Structure 1
Amino acid sequence: MHVGILTNFPTPKGGAEKVAIESARGLAERGVAVTFLHGIDGPADPMLDHPRIRRVGLGLTDVWDRPAWRGALEGVWNREAARRLRAVLAALPAAPYCLHLHQWTRSLSPAILPVLAASRLPVAVTLHDYFLACPNGVYYRFDEGAPCTLAPMGAACLAAPCDPQSRAHKLVRFARAAATRTALHRGFAERPLALVHVSDGSRARLEPMLSGGPFRHHRVDNPVRVAQGVPANPAGGDAVAFVGRFTREKGADLVAAAARAAGLAALFIGDGPLEPVLRGLPGTEVLGWRSPAEVERLLRARARAVVAPARWLETGPLTVYEALAAGIPAIASDRAGAGEKVVSGETGFVVAPTAESLGAAFGALRDDALVRRMGLAAHARYWAAPMTLAAHAEALCGLYAAMAGRPLAAEAPSFQRSAVL
């Protein structure tokens, strides 16, 4: 079996690239040959160094690194991206069974969609966000600090000043969303696109938004790269931990306020626009980005719980799954897909993204016996049905075989080397 995976970067700049890279590695380890196509060149994640992974860089530029007018035009429709992708697909020594698109907004643009359709290959798209339906990608009103309730792409949507950047950015993103919708309906009418949802909650929200489109909907959990080991000892921790971008929509400010009210320290790993504010708060410790191994070590040593209190309708933050796998209680927003994996009161808490709700949950975490019991339950429940890389690759292979209408091939041959072509 041979599949093509497309995304913007060969390094994990965000959750979408992280999953694309891990999917490629999991498939390769399962015996699948993978052509990993990335729009923007640069150093590759070590996980892509595998004899069954061929890496192909298209040599494009991040639209955020372009002059504003050029970035806007290329973000809506990048003709050069389409030309280069068409040439690369034509030059592959063997056609893939299928193509799997993870992210396209930073370099590839909607211009690649007609190329994918013209290939006549089955195409899947993992919906890490809401960009296929919503112009700003998160279905969230940044002007109101609350999830959106408008129908995407209607007149009210166009008029809403919801973009996190500016009105001009909203207009560009609206144009890109319109171009995406047009390309999908024109190119995939005869061969429907396979949409891969990463949580039940995001599927329940997105499927009605995309009704009437040329889509078939599927559910595949994102992989979690945590090796099975002994459970952590969260009762020995001294802090609640937040891992990721420090933004209001992710609820970083809520963690700081609720921890202070509950008398617990707050540990922040990552960075973001709220970093200067967080650094100035008593009882708050702010670290920069750390490697996955460092993050796990820090959480095992310090965290009584890992917190993901998103205000937006997050599809499925990996930090929650990683905490459960390590045996650390998780506190998830009731707006986030990851909350589906938390048994409230048993392996953590699922709460509304408010300082009051988080404060009540943090107060309960002062009970060592409860924290210890929750950690052990989280570990046992997670490993009873783990979201491992192998399980993820197995689910993808089943999806690809169904899309291609043929059984899985025997183990694929290795490429001579992993390289940018």
Structure 2
Amino acid sequence: MHVVILAEFAVPSGGAEKVAVESARGLAEAGHHVTYIQAVAGEADPLLDHPRLSRICLGLADAWSRPAVAAALAGIWSSEAALRLAGALAGLKRRPDCIHLHQWTRSLSPSVFPVLFRTGAPVLLTLHDYFLACPNGVAYRFDRAEPCALRPMSAACIAAPCDSRSRLHKMVRVARTAALRQAIGRRPLHVVHVCDASRARMGAMLGAYALTHHRVDNPVWVAERATAAPGQGDAIVYVGRLTREKGADLVAEAARRAGLTALFVGTGPLADELRQRPGVELAGWQCPEAVQAILRRRARALAAPSRWYETGPLTVYEALAAGIPVVASERSGAAEKVRDGATGFVVPPAVDDLAAAFGALADPARATAMGRAAHAAYWARPMTMAAHARDLSALYEEIVHNRSCAMQQETAARASDSTIEAARP
């Protein structure tokens, strides 16, 4: 099978690209021929170096590097992206059996969807976020610091000052979402959810489209090792962007109440505020190997306290794989992998609840027991790259088979109609 994977970057700068790169490698190792198309010019992850994997770069500019007006216009509809993608697909030596898109908001724009549909191959889109329905992409009211309950693109949604930047930025994103709805229309699109919560939540938000929903776990690039020793850890570790919607401020205060250090790995707008708090350490951005080392050396637990409906933060799975308890927000999709009270805690994103969970883990024996349970539970059914590739392969084969059957039935129906018409006097 020839699979085309389309993403905006070939080096992981976030979860979507990380999954795209690891999916490509896993599928190649599983025996498929993979073409990885990256939109933005730049380097490529070494994982993409494989005999059955080829790479094409469209050479587009990242919207964040462009002047504001040009970025806004290209974000709503980029004719350049559509033309370059169409050329790349037309130049393939082998027709793709399916095309899997992972991200489109930074350089590609809604203009690429008609290009993908015109190939005639089934099109899949992994929902790493909520941009398919929600203009600001996270279904979160930044003006109220709470999840959004409005119907996407309703009058109330359009009027809401919910964007993290400005009303003008929100209007640009509303225009992009309107263009997206027009670009996709009622064409068949397969959407892949990375957690059960996302599938349940997004199903009610996507009535404007003709979608087929699927569920596949993200891959986790972690080798199996002996369980960590969280009972010896001295810190609650937070890994990710330092923002209020992800709950970084909650971790700092809750850890202080529990008498533990709050160790933040990452960067973001709350960095200066957090640095001034007592009992806080900032490690800055770290490579994946360094993150794993920090978790094993320092973590009493990993905290994932998102205020927004996060789909599936990979750090939760990586911590469980290492044998580290996780305290996750009930709003996080990754919380479905945490067994409350056994491998960690699932709590509301509130200081009191987080502090209670951190306090329980202040007991070294309990942290140790939970870490061992987390390690055993994860490796009983690991989310490895091979497992991810196996599940994707089965999904692709099912979609291609069903499409072939549908086309054969349509051809037979047309032939039957033609025969009946010819027999009429």
User: After superposition, what is the alpha-carbon deviation per residue over 1:160-193, rounded to whole angstroms, capped at 9, x for unaligned?
Assistant: 000001111000000101111111115x1xxx11
Q: Report the CA distance between 1:111 and its aligned residue.
A: 0.2
Alpha-carbon distance between aligned partners in 1 of 2:86 and 2:15, rounded to the nearest angstrom: 26
SS at match of 1:3: strand
> How do residues 120-199 of structure 1 correspond to structure 2 at under 5 angstroms?
120-185=120-185, 188=187, 192-199=188-195
Instruction: Kindly provide the amino acid, as one letter, of the partner of residue 110 in structure 1.
Output: P
CA deviations over 1:65-94 (Å, ceiling 9, x no partner):
111111110000000000011011011000
Q: Distance in 2 between matches of 1:372 and 1:288?
A: 27
Q: CA RMSD in A?
A: 1.0
Alpha-carbon distance, 1:108 to partner: 0.5
3-state SS of 2:158 partner: helix
Pair 1:232 & 2:228 matched: yes
Q: Which has the larger radius of gyration?
A: 2
1:378 alignment partner, one of 367, 374, 379: 374
Q: Which moved more, 1:70-79 or 1:39-48?
A: 39-48
Ranges in structure 2 where 5+ consecutive residues have no aligned partner: 404-425
SS for the counterpart of 1:56 is: strand
1:32 is aligned to 2:28: no
> Is 1:315 matched up with 2:308?
no
Distance 2:66 2:10 in 1: 19
Letter of the structure 2 residue corresponding to residue 46 of structure 1: P
SS of 1:209's equivalent in the other structure is coil
Which whole-Å CA distance do the structure 1 matches of 2:237 and 2:67 have between them? 38
Match of 1:248 in 2: 244
Q: Which residue of 1 aligns with 2:333?
A: 337
- Once residues 52 and 291 of structure 1 are traced to their aligned partners in structure 2, the CA distance between those partners, rounded to angstroms, is 27
In the TM superposition, residue 212 of structure 1 has moved relative to its aligned partner by 5.2
**2:265 aligns to what?**
269
Residue in 2 that maps onto 1:282: 278
- Counterpart Cα distance in 2 of 1:168 and 1:254: 30
Measure how far apart 1:211 and its partner are. Answer: 2.6
Equivalent in the alignment of 1:414: none
Residue 420 of structure 2 aligns with which residue?
Answer: none
Q: Please name the residue that 2:398 is paired with.
A: 402
| Residue equivalent to 1:353 | 349
In structure 1, C-alpha distance between the alignment counterparts of 2:53 and 2:284, rounded to whole Å? 31
Residue 299 of structure 1: which of 280, 291, 295 is its match?
295
User: Number of residue pairs matched?
Assistant: 403
Q: How does 1:9-158 map to 2 (within 5 A)?
A: 9-158=9-158
Kindly report structure 1 stretches of 4+ aligned residues shifted beyond 2 Å.
Answer: none
Indicate the SS of the match to 1:289: coil
Asked which structure has the greater RCO (Cα within 8 Å, sep 6+), the reply is 1
Letter in 2 for 1:131: F
Q: 1:296 & 1:212 partners in 2: Cα distance? A: 41
Instruction: Determine the structure 1 residue equivalent to 2:414.
Output: none
CA contact (8 A) 2:181 2:208 kept: no
CA deviation string 1:323-374 (max 9, x = no partner): 1100000010000100000011100000000111101001111111110100
* Partner residue, 1:413: none
Distance 2:45 2:252 in 1: 32
Aligned to 2:422: none
Q: What TM-score does the superposition give when structure 2 sets the normalisation length?
A: 0.94
